[in-house]
Amino acid sequence: MNTLVTGGAGFIGSNFIRYILKHHKEDRVVNLDVLTYAGNLHNLDGVTDNTNYHFVQGNIRNRELVRHLVAEYQIDTIVNFAAESHVDRSIKAPDAFVETNVEGTLALLDVAKEARLSKFIQISTDEVYGALGKAGTFTEESPLQPNSPYSASKASADMLARAYFKTYGLDVSITRSSNNYGPRQHPEKLIPRMITRALSGETLPIYGNGKNVRDWLYVMDNCRAIDLVMRHGRAGEVYNIGGHNERSNNEIVRLFCSKLGISEDRIKYVADRLGHDWRYAVDSSKIERELGWQSQQEFLMGMEQTIQWYVAQYRS
């Protein structure tokens, strides 16, 4: 396959490029990334010598550029990771979220339609379903009830992707994963933020009472799922991808204190996030049944490896 990966200098995109180049040696990957504050070319260290990999700095909203790349590299598939991805930033300044997540996705869908690409994968999130109470899980049939400007922009992009399938017959599949963890995540997000602050002697700020629950998924398990959807997913379908790993923020931060040997006195409860979603939990039975996917990474082991990776980065 000749795949245009957008946002490949970010956390999940860079792990996905590594996954593809390792497992599909005949594939060609073009990485289109504008390099916002969240893009980091070091996330691709060791990949750049691979002759099947090409990096292009540019914006997904630039239709001319995307058209040119599709023609030049004979692209057959687009996997759209590019996004403004941080909920707290979307609460302070939502415009960029609409520009990239909505208008950018529209531009890519348009070019994919014109060029009659064989596959378009929209990387979405469980946050489009809103928040759960103590019980229940999100299925692909759960209503879209986004609560933050970030999740509203992602839900809008999903609706455009669905419309391009229904109206123009573009072969679109959407993945909605839960919270990813692993190497190469930007330090604004909970897990790297807590590890790096713990290492540098700072306080560990937990929003609200810390009882909010996230369903943690190892990033390479997500990459394997996206790869399966890209090759075998059905057109017009949504696939949820979850970690079966629900943990409160308190549990996560206390785990770091114990693993890094620091006192829980460093935890500081701070003002809650506005509209803070209470709980996410994802039902992945559709992708398990249809594509034979299972999350493989055991949580404590994955977290241990993740901590070690950030510790090594911090020390180097």
Binding residues (CB under 6 A) for ligand TDX: these are 85-87, 125, 127, 179, 189-190, 193, 205-207, 212, 214, 249, 273
Q: Which two tokens stand for residue 222?
A: 């997500």
Minimal distance, residue 124 CB to ligand NAD, in Å: 6
Beta bridge partners of 5: 31, 79
Q: Which does 206 bind (CB under 5 to 8 A by kind): ligand TDX, ligand NAD, none?
A: ligand TDX
- Classify 39 as helix, strand or coil: coil
Over 96-120, what HEC string results?
A: HHHHHHHHHHHHHHHHHHHCCCCEE
- Under 8 Å CB-to-CB from 88, ≥6 apart: which residues? 188, 273
Least Å distance, CB 286 to ligand NAD, is 17
| Active site (annotated) includes residue 126 | yes
Check residue 276 for interaction with ligand NAD (CB under 6 A). Answer: no
Q: Which of ligand TDX, ligand NAD, none is residue 245 near (CB under 5 to 8 Å by kind)?
A: none
Q: Is 198 helix (H, G, I), strand (E, B) or coil?
A: helix
Neighbours of 199 (CB within 10 A): 17
Residue 68 site contact among ligand NAD, ligand TDX, none (CB < 5 to 8 Å, cut-off depends on kind): none
Name the residue whose CB lies closest to ligand NAD.
10
Q: Which is nearer to ligand TDX, 18 or 214 (CB)?
A: 214
Binding test (CB under 6 A) with ligand NAD, winner from 3, 4, 5, 12: 12
Please identify, using beta-carbon distances, which residue of 24 and 193 lies nearer to ligand TDX: 193
Phi and psi at 200, nearest 5°, equal: -95, 10
Tell me the closest approach of the beta carbon of residue 61 to ligand NAD, in angstroms.
6
Angle (CA) 128-133-137 rounded to 5° is 60
The residue (of 127 and 227) whose beta carbon lies closer to ligand TDX is 127
Q: What are phi and psi of 184, to 5 degrees?
A: 80, 20
Mind telling me the catalytic residues? 126-127, 150
